[in-house]
Chains A and B, each alone.
Chain A
Amino acid sequence: MFTRLSALVVVIFAFVAPATAEAGGPKHGGILKIYHRETPPSLSIHEEATFSVNVPAMALYNNLVVYDQHKPQNSMGTIVPDLADSWSVSSDNLALTFKLHQGVKWHDGQPFTSKDVKCTFDLLQGKGQDKFRKNPRKDLFNNISEVTTNGDFEVTLHLKRSQPSLIAMLASGYTPIYSCHVPPAQMRTHPIGTGPFKFVEFKQNESIKLARNENYWKKGLPYLDGIEFTIISNRATAVLAFVAGKVDMTFPTEMTKALIADIKKQDPTAVCEIGPINVSTNLIVNRENPPFNNIELRKAMALALDRKAFIDIIYQGAGDVGGTLLPPPEGVWGMPPEMLKTIPGYGEVQKDREQARAIMTKLGYGPNNSLKIKVSTRNLATYRDPAVVLIDQLKTIYIDAELDPVESSQWFAKVARNDYSVGLNLTGNGIDDPDQAFYENYACGSERNYTHYCNKELEALFDKQSVETDVEKRRKMVWDIDKKLQEDVARPILMHARSGTCWKPYVKNMTIMNNSGYNGYRFEDLWLDR
């Protein structure tokens, strides 16, 4: 009897023990090692516009609200409190009030108060005494007329007009709260935040080191003792370093489909995810100079595009066809496939090209009289490679293009001067939200509206969708605007890229966002099971 009971106990233990170990809670300790693809310009998120900064720096700060770090798709429904315990909107939708968490301290021990929130928005709007060296997202907060405080723990953002998506911008990794007492120059070299990790050191070309914030206001967090980013600019070396276990994780969304296959072959235990990053490759045409001031010619160019070929050649099939906004299912606002197919240039390639050739013939071009142009692009592989495919596709409609690689530092200056005829550009979106995409890239006079597309009627629709609180209604309005933008050849979208991230199986709680590459790097509840 006793033996049978013992055997039963052993059997039960054999089943239960691994499950218990597996289900064991997060472990404290350990240093997470990630390779960084380059030396970031600084760690002051507000002054930079590359996720090379967000990845190492987001863990230093907190936002008022933040996207849930474990829901891959960012949406209004995934926004959770961060420094703000709660928020409310006034009945006229013109005031957004945040109740702030009490007892939060900056890394230097100073208390966090509502004044810091006000200082942050003053800095962003250029109202304060201190100024940023550069302020790439100041336009996003143009709708805030005033920031007022009520005591140390309540702050209100007063809006010029209703803007439901403002909260989405506040939840982005691009919108941390800065302190009043640390000047912007220091934030670039030795940032002070309220986040789960404290800045330790930043050595150009070497490493960025963060250490656990022992006094983090979220009790029990973070789990890690620190995070070390080793800067490995050569991707082949970086991949080998990951395979050899020198780093625990690759730089987020830096792995191509082919590289992931290679990693899995060498280290089958590696966990790899591939998904969209909300970066579109697009065609920019200078509509102000002839012959491209002719809408017919621009339409013909849009009809010549074979988007699937771009995706197959450049990303080995890992990409999506879409409009301005990231296509579903990962994208929240992108047009559905059946709607896309109704847009000229998104249908059957051969038919579209025949139509394009007919337009070109009407305009006086043909096989013996091709239009000679230059396709300008940044002299980086991610820009150059699709530009080469574009040149090949334009040949099919009697456009004989030559590649004009532009030194990287000169690219935006050249585009801003209108010193190009046809160009190929990449556009990254910090958040999957129509306000950011439309106002930034298509509003009349916007600095990033490189093609100077200006349609006042459509801009009125930008405002209309922006104030709409009903998500489904807004989505339909957004689809119509996006369709119109594609039909107007405002900035034809060639593709939306997908790329991947790999980590070792002992790295737990890692979630890669799949509709933005800028918002998922707080790392506060990430832990190492080893």
Chain B
Amino acid sequence: MGTYLIRRFFLMLLTLFGISVLIFTMLRLVPGNIADIVFNAAGMIDVAEKAKLEKELGLDRPIPVQYIEWISGLARGDLGYSYVSEKPAIKEILPRIPITAKLAGLALLFAVTFGVPLGVISAVRQNTMLDYVLRVVSLSGLSLPSFWLGLLVLMAFVTYFGSIPIYTDPPKGFWNTLWLFSIPAAAVGFRSSALVMRLTRSSMLEVLRQDYIRTARAKGAPARTVNYRHALRNALLPVVTVIGIEAAFLMGGLIVTETVFNIPGVARFLVEAIRWRDYPIVQNLVMFIAVVAVSINFLIDLLYAVLDPRIRYAS
């Protein structure tokens, strides 16, 4: 098990190194840099002033030099300065992480709380009216675009309650925070729960047809024990994988929800930074999302071993 963990950890570091090279190179392959954007906004190009700005920001140096400088800075905890706000990148990035983490965490909680039990119910009651209803609901969750659903929720609030649950100021206190984030989280979580539900259902159906389930039933084990203790535990492996992928996605992929509900989180900030070619922000933010994604994958690998002893023995 120890060797497995060490191997996985080093693989994680290697992945992160690959990602850093990829982010850095891809960002510089995108046409234009901050100097282009700055002058474009002014509707003119002053070649001398543009070159001066590029020199000031170190963009005139060879790309490998720029990469080494970034990585060595990152290792020292120096993320550089935002080209746009001219403030330390760390000060721009850090306050946004908890905002997105809260939203993603709540959305994931919504997805698991509804997705897993409803998936089990749907599988156990296969081809009943309840199963059909749940399948229709889950299909709707997958089909409805988040921005449309989000706007619909906002319109409903304005029409029926005369208020709008969008982020304009940092919420004060636990309940205010929960209230502000729970609505967008539900809008995102609806789609995620639909995905989790469908996967749980199909995985459960497959497991419920296994011989050992039949044996358990033949031995007179209660239905609840068979379904939840014997079947669900084994059906959870692919579900856990999807939950992990969703968790990683939610940390950086909530652009639509953050835009519609005006939440100043990581994804919206990242898109804005890309628009401005604010390299220090984009590089460090993508790197952060990559660390989250890789770490979650690492945790899921560990969870596999807990859920399925065969994986533990094999390693």
Contacts and interface: CB of A to CB of B under 8 A. Distances in A.
Interface of A: 33, 39, 41-42, 48-50, 133-136, 185, 188-189, 202-207, 230-234, 236-237, 240-241, 243-247, 266, 407-413, 416, 447-448
30 contacts: A39-B84, A41-B276, A48-B41, A133-B38, A133-B49, A134-B39, A135-B49, A136-B42, A136-B44, A204-B84, A205-B264, A205-B268, A205-B272, A232-B166, A232-B262, A236-B151, A236-B260, A237-B151, A237-B259, A240-B154, A241-B262, A243-B158, A244-B158, A244-B164, A266-B158, A409-B40, A411-B40, A412-B39, A412-B43, A447-B44
B49 A134 contact: yes
B85 interface: yes
Interface in B32-88: 32, 36-46, 49, 53, 82, 84-87
B42 to A, nearest CB: 4
A203 B85 CA distance: 9
Interface in B1-38: 31-32, 36-38
A258 B157 CA distance: 22
Given A205-B272, A266-B158, A410 B32 contact: yes
B137 interface: no
Given A409-B32, A412-B43, A412-B45, A244 B259 contact: no
Q: How large is the interface on B (under 10, 10 to 19, 20 to 34, 35 or more residues)?
A: 35 or more
A241 B151 contact: no
B301 interface: no
A161 to B, nearest CB: 24
Interface of B: 31-32, 36-46, 49, 53, 82, 84-87, 92, 151, 154-155, 157-158, 162-164, 166, 168-169, 259-262, 264, 268-269, 272, 275-277
Contacts, number: 127
A135 B43 CA distance: 11
Contacts of A189: 85-87
A282 B84 CA distance: 30
Nearest to A238: B262
B162 A245 contact: yes
B168 A409 contact: no
B32 A413 contact: yes
A39 B281 CA distance: 15
B259 A234 contact: yes
Contacts of B82: 204
A49 B42 contact: yes
B264 A134 contact: no
Contacts of A203: 264
Contact of A234 (B38, B42, B262, B272): B262
Contact of B262 (A237, A266, A408, A416): A237
A230 B169 CA distance: 8
